[in-house]
Structure 1
Amino acid sequence: MYKRLMISALFLKNMKYALLFLLVGVPGLGFSQDPLKLGQTTAEELNMKVYAQDTSAAAVVLYDYGHSSFLYTKGDQVQLKRLMRIKILKKAGLDQANISIPFYRKDFNHKEEVLDLKGFTYNLEGGKVVKVKLDEKAVFEEKEDINWYVKKIAMPNVKVGSVIEVAYTIKSDFLSILKWTFQSSIPVAWSEYRVNMMPFYEYTHLLSGFQKFHLEDMKVITQAVAFTSEQQSDRVTTERWGSATYKLAQYRWVMKDVPAFTDEPYMTGSEDYLSKLEFTLTKVQYPESKPVYMAGTWEGLAAELQKEEWFGLQLQNTAVFKKAVEEAAANSPDLLTKVKNIEAYVKKQMVWDGKHRIYSESIKKAYDARTGSSADINLLLTAMLREAGIDAKPMLVSTRSHGTPAMNMPMVSTFNYVIAAVKVGEATYLLDATDRDLPFGVLPYRCLNGQGWVTSLPAGKWLPLKNSERNTQLVSAQMEIKPTGEVTGKMEESYGGMSAHQMRATIKEQGRDNYVKKLASQNPEWTRQDMSLVNLDKNDKDLKASYTLHRAGESQPVSLLYVSPMLNHATHENPFKLANRLFPIDFATPQDETYVFTYALPAGYEVEEMPKAINLSLPDNSAKFSYMVQVADGKLQIMSKLNINKPVFTAKEYQDLRELYSRMVAKHAEKVVLKKKS
């Protein structure tokens, strides 16, 4: 899935340069194809009705070209020039006309800018090409968080059959990261990325995803580069303009006919699996200067975060929360109880705004407003715990939708969330105060993603993100089957761990009454009445539900009765539909599903046919499924049990897991046949 390579450029004496490139598997293919230019859409593209490589595609990226190069006229900068062309094939593809361009601003002197934005929509009307230019009024800029902004574009006159083009330049003061993504949610016919690498910089280069390059190449080019420099004399600063000629390494990577990326059940965010290139700057060495090694270590990142205004410095003045801490921690007999009380206080006081953040402009302002992001709330929690004399540190997390953090690449951008790591005695508790309904020490599902990084000096440390509880679901029923085929009885359900939390969240979102009504009408074949919910507001207890269950029968007794023994809890389809899978299967937590149903058989009937027992187990008991049916003392007993005993399965284990689910679906579909005695 990942391939590493180092791009290294070393500066030598007397303005003579040699380039050292250590690459993996680069064929000498040459730069045979020049980049396309804006406005070069073809009649073939406009007449296209279907994309041959994926006839179901609603849209296709015909061409996506990016070229990164370095600038030296306003300090050291890097710019990305991009041109993208998309064909709309079906109505479902019209949303591709809404384009977002994210960019980053740290402060006035350290920012990114989106420049030279142009766009056109092309349509065939009456056999002629009609070209409509993007209106400036259709371009909007929004602030997404403290540092991230986005340009949003609504392309004009887009309809099925349109070809849209967008071109822009991103000029950036940040040389530390370069990135290009080849894959998208729609197919990509051609994606190409080039970099003109200067001889001053050394980058670590990471390739992720499962798609192979159509072309890989590098050639050395000679290029004049403009620069400005400052000279000081007698307290007067003068600016000097000039240029110098360098030998640059121009890299080219191309992927062709890249399939659309589609989410599959039980997987983390698409960022983990999209085919993309990422570069991290590790060393800078200018002419006649000593090399400067970038903060490419966890030690460097930990030290940097302690001094960050919107992170480490937020935790220095904890005294402003003294009164709140005294109120929260009052009557705490021991340290652990104090931690629990302070977390409960923060949960009660604060309302999460739903935003995933690692930086906070001001945790004091967020506290006064009683609302904030994950960073506002959990850095506040950390500060209050520290004010109480407790060992608490921020922990950076990448949520499941954001992708698994790169543990070998010390970059803040690999994270998007922060929680608190709290040490009490020898135990460490991972706390997230954004969700009031979670018990103490239980992380929300979004945070169960590999490992998180505690930002402690000297180099931080990685800890697994997991909950101690399993997801559990226990369903039992005492039912009676009548000669007419009518089935009636009482069902009880019990949910524990993350299952209980998700159920509580659903009930509170819909409202208890609406939830009960919706459940009652879920399956018209079955009638649910007398619903009872226990422990709905007790987050540390299993959530329990009970109700009567009824299914109508015939008007007269019948000679053969067909019973679906799993009632309304059968697994009807296999979630793993694809024949093959490239990605791991991530359940987040181990889980148990147990169903025990007992049926009182009608007098005068006997079992004509019933499912056979089955007991399946994957290697090392990583997953198990058992199904048992027996008749005793005039009663039919069914037990179905599924155990997922580890949170993550590799792609190599997919076939075995898929087969286990297939056998479970088939077994749940089998019926019990009861025959009237002659």
Structure 2
Amino acid sequence: MKSLRVTFYSILYLIFSCTVLSAQDYELEDVSEAELTLEVYAKDSTAPAAYLNKVRETYFDYDSNDDGWIIVTEVTERIKILNKEGLNYATKKIRLYNGDSGKELVDDIKGVTYNFNSGQIEKSKLDKDAIFKTERSERWDETAFTMPAAQVGSVVEWSYKMVSPFYKIDDLIIQEDIPVIDYYAKIRTPGMFQFRRIKKGYFDIMPKESVQRGGITVNGDFNQSNYFNYQELVAEYEQKDVPALKKEVYIINPDNYRRSIIYELISTNFNDNKREYSTTWEEVARTIFKHDDFGGELKSTRFLEEAAAEILAANKTQDAKIKAALRFVKSKISWNGNYGKYTDEGIDKAYKNGSGNVSEINLLLTALLRECGVSAHPVLLGTKRFGIPHFPTLEGYNYVVVGIRSEMQTILLDATDKWSAPNILPTRVYNWKGRMVNEKGVSQEIDLFETIKPQIDRYVKAVLNEDGSLEGELKQRFSSLEALKIRHSVGTQDVKNWGEKRLDYFGLDELTAHQLKDLNKLEKPIVESFQFKIDQAVDQVPGQIFLNPLLFFRERESPFKSDERISPIDFDYPFTHNTNISIELPAGYAVASLPESTKIALPDDMGIFLYTIHEQNNILQVMTRINLNSTFMPADYYQTLKEFFKIRIDKENEKVILKKSI
């Protein structure tokens, strides 16, 4: 089935009352001269284009010759192109899923481009030869077309019908990257299918509902005995003037907060034969493990016996076995960049080929650990760009890591990243919660942040000279994910070449004796050290020196500039950054003005900023700590967070004034 994306704090259950109403079909009016001569959308003057209308209807039908129940979605979209950038919206791409039990199809594609020339509305129809079908992957096909005669000022309109044999209603995408002036959707679901409806994003909507009578004819016969009546729930959704989804800083995936309605299948009931889908996490776990491309892959692992024997012969403790198995898998198989909780070709073929997707690599590691006597289990999760499942669902996961319960703690492993280590995983996986599953159908929620403590500790000892130059030494220690970030930054390049880049990074004039200690000891922190010189580190006037005591470690501007924010703030991971700087002041100068020490805190223990400074015996000492405990902050906290960063930035850019003694 298709992937389903849901996210933390953005999910609210919609409670709908069911009343008998008369539903009316939604019909578009003809394209008008006013729409064709429109140059700027008044409610968003920067919009490159705008949906004048976005319409869809989804309903169930019955194919008695082949697939049985199918889902039909009819779409009509009309877009106004406002500038050259908006010409991108004259192209439509339709993704179609190709599963083991069937495939989705698109048909009845029609399109018209409207232009206004010399007082006349001109129409250019989409040619069938301009519609292209492409196989994007083993599971996904794509049908695409670009509208003819599209130019700035055009209105493009298309319609199509998509047919799916899967019991998955595509999400209702109400908000787009451009404004949507008029949105309408009608969803008709037979009584035999029960769906959970979920709102994603921050908006209010209440559909108009009705109960109508439907019917199907089986085997193509039209006599009464083969015609079945049923009732269907009709839900109509309307929204006007939906703003574009804007890009904001510190948001991993804007799609997580796009205004949408999700239909999640709960159960089917045919002839009193009720089947439930993903109603509990245990059912989800059992279903996933039953799949041949998941749990089935952990059964036939004899090809790993030799590797396991070598690991066991050289390593006696469980900790040593875990590290050895992780190293072995990383050395034998590389990640091909593909995600997914299920394998594509199987762990044995991936092992032979030396390349595999996320599932193949980490299920292989799970199997190898089990061969070594370690009780390892897959941990399902959705990556940052995918979302977080907050109700039992098969469709909420796109990634697998390995989990080991040891002495009341969880050890997490991911062999897709060559620089990873136990409990140091690539940042893409740190998406709040994961779920450890096993063959018995038991699942356990795992806090992905529980075992990480990313931290940077910086130490600078320097001497400020009367001519404004400054020289000294720096040492900084990177732990956990902060060390992983450095390892990714260095990569396979020569450390010397990477060290030379630090000259520009820190704004230095000279950098010598650069070292990176324990770069290849993946479980250990990295310690970076070097000596440096800055030719002009201060501002000067006769008899006075203006010094920023944080040197090259101050933040110069806040990332939060907008007056308001709709989306939550989503940092990569919690962290602590400590900075300690000691500066010997030039002889003959005394401190005339010193910034005040400060401590500010975010509410609910989300974070703190500490700044202390003092001078003693001609030595200036400054210390800062920025500690962020929460990676996810609701939009309600935005103004508080914005003020927090403003105070921090202002404080870090205050200067010490030194005055020459008379």
Question: By the TM > 0.5 criterion, same fold?
Answer: yes
Give the residue type in structure 2 aligned to 1:71.
D
Q: Secondary structure at the match of 1:670?
A: coil
Determine the structure 2 residue equivalent to 1:100.
93
1:113 aligned residue (96, 101, 105) = 105
Displacement after TM superposition at 1:674 (Å): 1.7
1:319 to 275, 280, 302: 302
Tell me, in whole angstroms, the C-alpha distance in 2 between the residues paired with 1:260 and 1:573: 27
Matched AA of 2:167: L
Task: Give the stretch that moved more between structures: 182-191 or 496-505.
Answer: 182-191
**Could you tell me how far 1:156 is from its partner in structure 2?**
4.5
Write the mapping of 1:232-271 to structure 2, written as runs, cut at 5 A: 243=227, 247-271=231-255
Find the aligned partners of 1:119 and 1:637 in 2 and give their Cα distance.
Answer: 70
Corresponding residue number in structure 2 for 1:453: 435
Query: Quick one: which of 500, 521, 527 aligns to 1:544?
Result: 527
Q: For the residues of structure 1 that align with 2:305 and 2:293, how far apart are their CA atoms?
A: 21
Q: CA deviation at 1:403?
A: 1.0
Shift in CA distance, 663/6, structure 1 to aligned 2, threshold 3 Å: closer
1:217 counterpart (191, 208, 211) = 208
Indicate which of 431, 436, 439 corresponds to 2:421. Answer: 439
Structure 1 gaps of 5+ residues are 8-21, 232-237
Deviation at 1:165, TM superposition (A): 2.7
What do residues 3-32 of structure 1 show as CA deviations (whole Å, max 9, x unaligned)?
Answer: 32467xxxxxxxxxxxxxx45xx9x99757
Q: Give yes or no for contact 1:228–1:239 (8 Å, CA) kept in 2.
A: no
Query: Would the alpha carbon gap of residues 304 and 55 (structure 1) be closer, same or farther in structure 2, given more than 3 Å must change?
Result: same
Alignment of 1:146-225 (within 5 A): 146-213=138-205, 216-223=207-214, 225=215
State how far apart, in whole Å, the 2-side matches of 1:629 and 1:600 are: 14
The reply on whether 1:469 has 2:452 as its aligned counterpart is yes
Number of residue equivalences: 646
Give the deviation of 1:526 after TM superposition: 5.1
When residues 82 and 527 of structure 1 are mapped into structure 2, their CA distance, relative to the original with a 3 A threshold, is: farther
Measure, in 2, the Cα distance between the counterparts of 1:190 and 1:42: 15
- Residue 488 (structure 2) aligned to one of 505, 508, 513: 505
Q: Which residue of 1 aligns with 2:647?
A: 663
- Secondary structure at the aligned position of 1:453 is classed as strand
The 1:118/1:510 distance shift into structure 2, 3 A limit, reads farther
Aligned partner of 2:399 in structure 1 is: 417
Q: Could you report, residue by residue, the CA deviation over 1:369-419 in whole angstroms, capped at 9, with x for unpaired residues?
A: 11111111011111222223332222211001101112x2x3221111111
Which stretch shifts more, 243-252 or 495-504? Answer: 243-252
Kindly indicate whether the alpha-carbon contact (under 8 Å) linking 1:68 and 1:195 is maintained by their aligned counterparts in 2.
yes
Q: What residue is the counterpart of 1:575 in the other structure?
A: 559
Q: CA shift at 1:523, angstroms? A: 6.4
Question: 1:534 corresponds to which residue?
Answer: 517
Equivalent in the alignment of 1:357: 340
Q: Could you tell me how far apart the structure 2 residues matched to 1:648 and 1:309 are?
A: 36
Q: Distance between the aligned counterparts of 2:428 and 2:491, measured in 1?
A: 19
Provide the C-alpha distance between the structure 2 equivalents of 1:206 and 1:523, rounded to a whole number of angstroms: 48
Distance 1:563 1:575 in 2: 24
Alignment partners' CA distance in 2, 1:405 and 1:565: 46
Cα distance, 1:495 vs. partner? 1.5
Give the Å deviation of 1:91.
Answer: 3.2
Q: Distance in 2 between matches of 1:630 and 1:284?
A: 71
The 8 Å contact of residues 508 and 532 in structure 2, kept in 1 or not, is answered as no
Specify which of 11, 14, 24 is matched with residue 2 of structure 1.
Answer: 11
* 1:496 counterpart residue number: 479
| Change in 2 beyond 3 A, CA 1:130/1:488 | farther
Q: 1:477 touches 1:489 (CA, 8 Å); kept in 2?
A: yes
Residue number in structure 1 paired with 2:76: 83
1:446 shift after superposition: 0.9
Which amino acid is 1:444 matched to?
A: P
> In the aligned structure 2, how far is the partner of 1:529 from the partner of 1:30?
79
Structure 2: distance between partners of 1:518 and 1:120: 54
Match of 1:36 in 2: 28
Shift of 1:535: 2.2
Q: Distance in 2 between matches of 1:275 and 1:617?
A: 32
**Contact 2:580-2:621 at 8 Å conserved across structures:** yes
Distance in structure 2 (CA, Å) of the matches to 1:208 and 1:241: 43
Given that 1:226 and 1:241 are in contact with CA atoms closer than 8 Å, whether structure 2 keeps it comes out as: no
Deviations 1:472-498 (A, max 9, x none): 122222222222322232222322111
For residues 515-570 of structure 1, what are the alpha-carbon distances to aligned partners after superposition, in whole Å with 9 as ceiling and x for unaligned? 33443234667554553322222222222223333333499983222212221221
- Code of the residue aligned with 2:393 in structure 1: it is M
Tell me if the contact between 1:73 and 1:226 (Cα under 8 Å) persists in the aligned partners.
no
Deviation at 1:69, TM superposition (A): 0.5
Give the letter aligned to residue 100 of structure 1: K
Alpha-carbon distance in structure 2 between the residues aligned to 1:261 and 1:556: 47
What is the distance in 2 between the residues matched to 1:227 and 1:557?
92
CA RMSD of aligned residues (A): 3.1
| Aligned twin of 1:602 | 586
Q: Give the 3 Å change call, closer, same or farther, for CA 147–423 of structure 1 in structure 2.
A: farther
- Which secondary structure does the structure 1 equivalent of 2:554 belong to? coil
Q: Does 1:627 align with 2:617?
A: no
Counterpart AA for 1:46 = L
CA distance in 1, matches of 2:514, 2:149: 53
Range that drifts further, 419-428 or 474-483:
419-428
Judge conservation of contact 2:417–2:426 (CA < 8 Å) in 1: yes
- Say if 2:593 and 2:657, in contact at 8 Å, map to a contact too: yes
Report SS of the residue matched to 2:400.
strand
Deviations 1:244-297 (A, max 9, x none): 5655432101122222223433334334322211122223334x5444444533
Distance 1:134 1:530 in 2: 67
Identity rate, percent: 28
**Number of the residue aligned with 1:228:** 218
Distance 1:125 1:552 in 2: 65
Aligned equivalent of 2:282 = 299
Residue 167 of structure 1 aligns with an amino acid whose one-letter code is S
Query: Equivalents in 2 of 1:250, 1:621: separation in Å?
Result: 46
Question: How far does the alpha carbon of each residue in 1:453-487 deviate from its partner, in whole angstroms, 9 at most, with x for none?
Answer: 22222342221112523221222222222223222
**Aligned equivalents of 1:349 and 1:57: distance in 2?**
49
Q: Which residue of 1 aligns with 2:7?
A: none
1:185 maps to a residue whose letter is: D
Task: Name the structure 2 match of 1:376.
Answer: 360
Q: Aligned partner of 2:413: which letter?
A: L
Does the Cα contact within 8 Å between 2:590 and 2:658 map onto a contact in 1? yes
- Alpha-carbon distance in structure 1 between the residues aligned to 2:493 and 2:185: 47
Aligned position for 2:3: none
Whether contact under 8 Å (1:58, 1:88) holds in the other structure is: yes
State the secondary structure of the residue aligned to 1:660. Answer: helix
Query: Does the C-alpha gap of structure 1 residues 113 and 497 become closer, same or farther in structure 2, counting only changes over 3 Å?
Result: same
Aligned to 1:63: 53
1:85-130 per-residue CA deviation (whole Å, 9 max, x = no partner) reads 22332333343344432222222x4332222233444444555535
Tell me: CA distance 1:153–1:240, structure 2 relative to 1, closer, same or farther (3 Å).
Answer: farther
Query: Secondary structure, in 3 states, of the residue corresponding to 1:285?
Result: strand
Matching residue's letter, 1:163: V
User: In structure 2, the residue corresponding to 1:414 is in which secondary structure?
Assistant: coil
Q: Partner of 1:568: helix, strand, or coil?
A: helix
SS in 2 for 1:347: helix
Q: Secondary structure at the match of 1:466?
A: coil
- Name the CA shift for 1:669/1:34 in 2 (closer, same or farther; >3 Å): same
Distance in 2 (CA, whole Å) between partners of 1:537 and 1:415 is: 32
Contact kept in structure 1, 2:578 and 2:626, CA below 8 Å? yes
